[in-house]
Structure formats: C-alpha cells, structure tokens
Amino acid sequence: MTGPRGVPDAERLAREIEVARNIQRDFLPETLPVAMGLQIEAVLQPAREVSGDFYDAFVLPPAGTIVLVVGDVCDKGVGAALFMALFRSLIRASADPVGGGAIQMIGGRRTLVRQALESASAADLLVRVAGFTNDYIARLHGRTNMFATVFLGALDPRDGQFDYVNAGHEPALLVAADGTTRELRPTGPALGLLPDVAFGAGQVRLEHGHSLVAFTDGLVEARSPAGEAFGGERLRDAVRANRASAAALVQGVMAALGGFTGQAEPHDDVTLLAAVRTG
C-alpha cells in the first residue's frame, strides 16, 4: 500500500519512527554533570525502535546539587515513548524551574515561587516534584492508565549527602568501598496512578569510594537464551567487579548483561545510571 504521495506505507512509517527516535534521543541529556570528586555515567538500551525508559542528570543552582533521575513508563512502543517525554519534561521543569523554563512562564526571574523552591531542602524539593508530576498525570491523563516508576535523587557533591524519592521503582544500590550493598527501596507509589498520594524521602551518604547504581527492571529481568533472568545477584557481582570508575561500572555491567543474554531477543528497555564518589 502507498500513502497519498505514492510513498509506500511501510517506508513512511519507518521514516516517522526514525523521527520519533531522534526526538526521543534529544530528551536525554547531551552531557552529564561534572563535579570535583564525582563521576556520573549512564546508558539507555532500547528493546524496540523507541523506548519508555529515560534518565536525566542536571545541576540545581545556587547550591550545585545534582539531580539524578531514572524512570520506566509502563508498556512499550510509541505510547510509552510519548509518555516518557511527558514524564521527563514534568520532572525537569518542576525540579529546575529556571533552567526548565517554568519560572519564565509564570512571571519573571525573582518570583516568590522561585525563592520558595530555591530555599527548599533537597528532600522537600524531590517530594514536591514527585507529587506535582504524579498529580498532573493522574488528573489530566488518568484515562490512559499510563504510569511510570521513577527513582529521583539529589546529591550534594561537597559532602555526599544523597536525598531520594523512590516512586515504585527498582531499589537503587548504594555500594560501599568494601563491596557491601544497601538497597534504596520505594518511598511511595509509581507516578500517575492516583492523585494526592503521599511520597516520602530517604537519605543516605555517598562516602568517598562509594557508588550509586540506579536502573530499570529491564536490566535484572533480562533473559538468557535458556530463559533465566539476569537477576539482582549478577548485577551486584558486576558492580563490585567494575567500580573503579563510573564509566567502568556501566561498561562492565552492560558487558556482563550482554554475555548473559547472548543472542536472546530483548524483551524490555535497559537503563543504567551510576555515580561514583572518588575523592
């Protein structure tokens, strides 16, 4: 079959998907924040042409707090990709109202809203971001039954304080210098399910030599050709073996995953973000 200008439908669809893939790629950060004594690295490996996973990392002025985000929209394909863009934009704009453009849209650069946001603690900010994003999706798009699990973190690179909100997401891993791990478990439900739900915040410290690993469930649920799941223990082993740097950690985990899955067809997107405090 051909479209209105004689272009085969399959070719036209392929072009549109390519455009969608390029637009979606632009929603990911071009560069990751740089801070003395801190390394950040991330990777997103889609299972299809477009992905429902996303990650983000950006600096909040004036304190220099670094916000880290890993999210996973339910379902797959184009619908999940559309909501990926919406979730990512809501989180970025509400967490970073100046850089995200929200302040300019509501009346200038020195509003009471901006001052309140800048004076909020990192934990309060993350709770507000989760609540705002959740309520927006649940109220305006509840009929779609789309939601996202999201891990939100705010890291102070000066002292390693790390506040986080885990909205129904896979527990992130805090890995100590001796290789012991701690799970940063959910502090609230997935975003977009119901309005007006409560979110809590957790707090840990990323000491020198510690690593933080946040990921989507596509990593631990990836299957070998025999149907066995990669699982949390293999992930921990790969992290322990490759935590010399954030780049080595991400590369090592993905290499271990690739060796495990072999030629098996991927069934879900895989996203991995690592932060290593080196000194």
CB contact burial 174-183 (16+ within 10 A = b; e otherwise): bbeeeeebee
From its phi and psi, is residue 68 left (phi > 0), alpha (psi between -120 and 50) or beta? beta
129 lies in a domain? yes
Q: Find out whether 127 and 44 touch, Cβ atoms under 8 Å.
A: no
Residue-wise pLDDT tens digits, 99-122: 554 444 444 454 444 555 566 799
Span of 175-179, 211-215, 216-220, 262-266 with lowest mean pLDDT? 262-266
Give the contacts of 139 (CB within 8 A, at least 6 positions apart). Answer: 195
- Within a domain: 6: no
> Residue 161 sits in a domain of what CATH number?
3.60.40.10
In a domain, 49, yes or no: yes
- Give tens-digit pLDDT for 211-245: 999 999 999 999 999 999 999 999 999 999 999 99
Asked if residue 254 is part of any domain, the answer here is yes
Domains contained in the chain, number = 1
Domain that holds residue 161: 32-277
Give me the helix-helix angle, 77-95 and 9-26, nearest 10°: 20
Please write the tens of the pLDDT for every residue from 192-217: 999 999 999 999 999 999 999 999 99
Is position 4 within any domain? no
- Model pTM? 0.89
Residue 258 covered by a domain: yes
